[in-house]
Chain A
Amino acid sequence: MDTFKYSRAQDMSQAIQAGAQSPTAQQGAPVRFVAGGTTLLDLMKLNVERPTQVVDINRLPLDKVEKLPNGGLKIGALVRNSDLAHDPTVQSDYAVLSQALLSGASAQLRNMATTGGNLLQRTRCVYFRDTAMACNKREPGSGCSALEGENRTLAILGTSPHCTATNPSDMNVALTALEATIHIQGAKGEREVAIHDFFLLPGNTPHREHVMEPGDLITFVSLPELRPGTKSVYLKLRDRASYEFALSSAAVVAEVADGRFKRVRIALGGVGTKPWRSLEAEKVLEGKKVDPAVFREASNAALRDARPQSENGFKVELTKRCLTHALALATKTA
């Protein structure tokens, strides 16, 4: 690991000022914030990230989960994954989020990892993690080793000829189905970004993963209040029963009335280059009867544009079944 200067931010403006000195907030940024450290230290040990300055933001007052006056929920960027998963309001009103968090990583990692850090979690693509291999995300223009290589776990939705790396987070999939808003403070003030717009598709610039600019600090995530009668579910399929990234996952947030879908939000994990909101599946479901044939129709629509690689064709059918089953779970009469 390269040497770096360590400092501890005493307040938000100190962190933002330090971050603003960096020419980028994306891959290879020379200034990095550290919170839980579970991604950053891992990648620094691999020389995938080589910051010259590490700013510890753990003492900033961003560790609360609070109900908003409008009925929504405000989640501080430094709330640990385990605390968020066990928060009583999250468990009762946003079950999909609690389930997604508890299906991710291990108990130790969940005690460390934060909300903001999980949003910015990096891909597990083996070529991104190996500096001996070509990777456009790590080294723009060097090529993509996954196209002709080991791509069994990689994405089938939102890919480009330059990158097929998967966003590995479970939390992000739940937050996408919940239509979360990311609140950012930066050198130019505060702004809010809908989670759907926060993550970028790889396109020609796979090294740009999100909208964060130098000095930007995620301060909190807010969730809208869900309408009465809304149920939510996270279903994750993987190679092991526990402590493994998703091959495929589905988050369903559904309001059902008189046996029909009134309002439904669908997001998929393990298959997209970003947490994958499926507007196509939602369009099929809205207004339709709660029925297995409808679930299957929506799942087919969600995967219509799938572009599998040499080893991950199985993910198309797996994801259809995953979403079909998640819809069944979410609409079981309480």
Chain B
Amino acid sequence: MSDEEKPGKQESLAGNVSRRSFLSQLGVAGVVATTRPLAAAAQQSPAETSPGTPGLPIAGAIPVSLKVNGKQVSVNIDPRTTLLDCLRESLQLTGTKKGCDHGQCGACTVHVNGRRVNSCLSFATMHDGDDITTIEGIGQPGNLHPMQAAFVEHDGYQCGYCTSGQIMSAVALLKEPCGPADADVKELMSGNICRCGAYPNIVAAIQQVRQRA
């Protein structure tokens, strides 16, 4: 847990905080309010830190080398670690989201060697030597991928939780065989669920990028 996410540092709530640290503090505050006095919360036990915390030895861990967003990385991980958990917990690339964790929602979509996959249904060890691209690798603030810009322009989200998966799917779709109609896009995007129902705007964003390409 990073310093800024520690409970008790309540003053940062009023300051300039990221969405992630804000939500994280809300979560901790909720636990504190229901289960124990505030003072006890300051003593976080090591068991509450994430299993992928760098520096902690893991029994039976095996080395894996990945190229993630163009950068070579090596990690020691428990063989049970999915590619999704490896990205989020070991490499702190939290743009990729965990939704259902069973390949049903598409929130975890990343590219492996240029093809979109559900990162929750793959062990990270299976990807030794593979080239992985996540939402962090396709564009940055001020230099958005055209698909990211189109999602912003067309309001292709509401809560935003499925958005990185939607965009990674949409970017991959540009290189796949896909007919010209909205129905063709809907069919190829059916593995990405949006419970806010932003589908018409998502389709509009994708069609704009396809037409301009």
Contact = CB atoms under 8 A, between A and B. Distances in A.
B173 to A, nearest CB: 7
Given A54-B79, A56-B125, A56-B126, A107 B188 contact: yes
A37 B125 contact: no
Contact of B79 (A4, A42, A82, A106): A4
B123 A108 contact: no
A109 B123 contact: no
Contact of B115 (A56, A105, A111, A242): A111
User: Size range of the interface on B?
Assistant: 20 to 34
B46 to A, nearest CB: 20
Contacts of A6: 62, 79, 123, 125
Interface stretch (B20-28, B65-73, B100-108, B203-211): B100-108
- Which of A5, A105, A112 counts the most chain B CB atoms within 10 A? A112
Interface in A91-134: 105-109, 111-112
Interface in A157-196: none
Interface in B148-183: 169, 172-173, 176-177
User: Size range of the interface on A?
Assistant: 20 to 34
Contacts of A109: 103, 118, 121, 191
Interface in B95-147: 101-103, 106, 109, 115-118, 120-123, 125-126, 128
A333 interface: no
A107 B116 contact: yes
B103 A243 contact: no
A108 B116 CA distance: 5
B121 A37 contact: yes
Nearest to B82: A41
B187 interface: yes
Nearest to B186: A242
A34 interface: yes
A22 interface: no
A104 to B, nearest CB: 11
Contacts, number: 83
A86 interface: yes
B190 A5 contact: no
Contacts of B192: 106
Interface in A41-56: 41-42, 45, 54, 56
A106 B191 contact: yes
Contacts of A112: 117-118, 121-122
A6 B60 CA distance: 10
A45 B101 contact: yes
Contacts of B62: 6
B169 A107 contact: yes
Nearest to A105: B191
Contacts of B9: none
B84 to A, nearest CB: 10
B80 interface: yes
Interface in B35-89: 60, 62, 78-80, 82
Contact of B109 (A45, A108, A241, A242): A108
Interface of B: 60, 62, 78-80, 82, 101-103, 106, 109, 115-118, 120-123, 125-126, 128, 169, 172-173, 176-177, 186-192
A-B pairs, 7 with minimum CB distance: A106-B191, A242-B190, A6-B79, A243-B190, A111-B115, A41-B121, A108-B118
